[in-house]
Every structure is written in structure tokens, then in C-alpha cells.
């Protein structure tokens, strides 16, 4: 890799200094070191070491919407339930900053995998009266409407699919054929939704990068897009891009809180929304993948 030019180095150092100053203002503690953290294309991530010996994780985003980081902090606190997965502590939040407790990463072990699956099931089991049941938030940088509905099929169609299908069409991120297949699923959603389930407390963006296996053996959830939804949605999202020990996670989850018959055939149904989000954000083949998931639902085929 080409070494940074002197101007680039100076800019990076200035950013680190600004982050340190803001953290000191928010926490009332001195910052003794800052280190950039790799990963993520939405926010700048930094590890800071504090004068009391702790480390913290800092997320920043210039010109973020006023409630962007507040929504994430609110979601983290809302997902905390007794017996559920651990989540980072919110140390401070402002319009352009979020400061969280630092989590040292590790590797998933057998006991940790099963414990995480049981904790996830427990979190999902802390049910709510209605679907949505949270203020509107974000998934990535995309607004996430959470207006409540009494049934999941209605919530899925009008809050999770149709608004994003329109945006994908407007951006030419999906073909007419793929969009047509998704529309047909929304029109027949009651046929495909499976047995009614109570509104579960969902992470909402549960891909493997948001499951943090820590060095102390615990498995943390990070970066939520939290709302009350169908518990199969979190599991389908976890399988969309693959996850370490996925089969063991699902088996242990099903053992702890049995999934309804036919859940495997419903996996592509629950993947349509995240695939539409990816089509909006990244384009490429995601729109066609969303269409393929819809055709799998219409054909009664489980995801591969």
C-alpha cells in the first residue's frame, strides 16, 4: 500500500484530535490515546483510551441526521433484556458522535455459540403488543419506518417491502421482472407468512458483522436497527451472508425456542427486505437477488 502523503497524515491527525476533544467533552475524562478502527463504510470508527484505564469505541459521521446516533443508542438500550445477549454500554451520544464501551474481540467456541443462540431466543421472547413498536430509525443510512401494526403480514408489506421497492425502482436498482415478483408476494403475503407469532424484539440488521464474539466468551450484538417484528427475520438475516457456526446457532435456537413448521421455506421471504436495502445502497445484483427470493417464495422453495 502506498504510504500516506504528508497532507493526508496531517488530516488524519487533525481528525483524531477532534475526536479526542469531543470525547473529552462528552465524558468529562481525558483521552490518552486514539487508534483508527478498520471496517465500516458508513461511519468513522476510532478506539480511544481514557484516563481511567478504560477503552471506548467511537463512531462519527459528518452531517448525520439529527437522530441518527440517537436511534442506535435507543435501540441498544431497548434490546437489553434479562437473559438476552449482552450489548455494548452507551457512554455518550450526540448528533454526530456515539461513544460505546469497548469490546475485545475473540473467537466463537462451542459453548459460546449455544449460549448466544439461547440468549437471542430469550431476547426475541421479550415480546411487544404490536409490530413496529419503536420510533423510526435507520438501517445503514436508509430510514426505517416503524409505525405500529397489529399483524406481521401488514407490517412486512407496508413498512418493510413496498417503500423500499419504490425507491429501488426509482433508482433503477431492480428490474421490472424482479419488482413484479416481489409485488406478487406482497399481494399474497397472508398465504406465505406462516402461523401468527407475537411481535419479537429484533436486532433488525443481524448479519454476521453485527455479532461480535468477544475475548471473554460472551457474544455481543452491535449496530442494531431495532423494532418489534417476526423472530424468523433475524435468523434469515443471519443466514443471508453467512455466519460462523450458523448451523449450530440455528439448531440451538430451535432447541431452546422451537421454530414454527415451515420456517426454512420462509427464509427467502424474510430476506427480501435486506436485499432491497442492499439494492438501494449498493446496486449491483442485489435487486435481482431480491427478485429471486420472491420467486422462491412463490414457487414454495427454501433458500439454498
The residues annotated as belonging to the active site are 205
Q: Is the Cβ–Cβ distance between 117 and 253 less than 8 Å?
A: yes
DSSP code string of 129-179: SSBB-S--EEETTEEE----BSSHHHHIIIIIIHHHHHHHHHTT-S-HHHH
CA distance readout (Å), 199 to 150, 155, 172, 233, 286: 9, 11, 33, 11, 28
Alpha-carbon distance 188 to 101, whole Å? 44
Q: Which three cell numbers stand for residue 268?
A: 427467502
- Sheet bearing 44-50, strands edge to edge: 31-36, 44-50, 55-60, 97-101, 90-93
Amino acid at each position: 500500500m502506498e504510504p500516506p502523503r504528508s497532507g493526508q497524515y496531517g488530516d488524519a491527525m487533525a481528525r483524531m484530535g477532534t475526536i479526542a476533544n469531543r470525547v473529552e467533552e462528552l465524558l468529562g475524562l481525558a483521552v490518552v490515546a486514539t487508534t483508527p478502527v478498520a471496517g465500516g463504510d458508513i461511519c468513522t470508527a476510532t478506539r480511544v483510551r481514557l484516563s481511567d484505564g478504560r477503552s471506548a469505541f467511537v463512531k462519527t459521521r459528518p452531517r448525520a441526521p439529527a437522530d441518527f446516533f440517537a436511534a442506535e443508542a435507543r435501540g441498544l438500550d431497548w434490546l437489553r433484556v434479562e437473559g438476552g445477549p449482552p450489548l455494548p454500554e452507551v457512554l455518550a451520544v450526540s448528533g454526530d458522535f456515539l461513544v460505546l464501551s469497548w469490546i475485545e474481540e475473540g473467537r466463537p467456541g462451542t459453548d459460546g455459540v449455544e449460549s448466544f443462540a439461547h440468549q437471542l431466543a430469550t431476547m426475541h421472547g421479550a415480546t411487544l403488543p404490536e409490530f413496529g413498536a419503536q420510533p423510526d430509525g435507520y438501517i445503514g443510512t436508509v430510514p426505517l419506518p416503524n409505525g405500529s401494526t397489529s399483524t406481521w403480514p401488514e407490517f412486512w408489506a407496508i413498512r418493510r417491502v413496498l417503500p423500499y421497492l419504490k425507491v429501488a425502482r426509482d433508482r433503477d436498482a431492480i428490474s421490472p421482472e424482479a419488482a413484479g415478483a416481489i409485488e406478487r408476494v406482497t399481494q399474497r403475503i397472508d398465504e406465505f407468512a406462516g402461523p401468527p407469532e407475537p411481535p419479537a424484539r429484533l436486532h433488525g440488521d443481524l448479519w454476521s458483522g453485527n455479532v461480535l464474539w468477544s475475548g471473554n466468551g460472551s457474544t455481543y450484538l452491535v449496530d442494531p436497527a431495532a423494532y418489534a417484528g417476526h423472530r424468523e427475520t433475524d435468523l434469515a438475516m443471519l443466514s443471508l451472508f453467512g455466519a460462523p457456526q450458523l448451523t449450530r446457532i440455528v439448531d440451538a435456537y430451535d432447541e431452546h425456542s422451537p421454530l414454527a413448521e415451515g420456517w426454512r421455506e420462509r427464509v427467502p421471504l424474510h430476506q427480501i427486505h435486506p436485499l432491497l436495502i442492499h439494492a438501494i445502497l449498493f446496486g449491483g445484483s442485489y435487486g435481482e437477488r431480491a427478485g429471486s427470493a420472491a420467486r422462491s417464495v412463490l414457487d414454495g422453495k427454501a433458500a439454498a
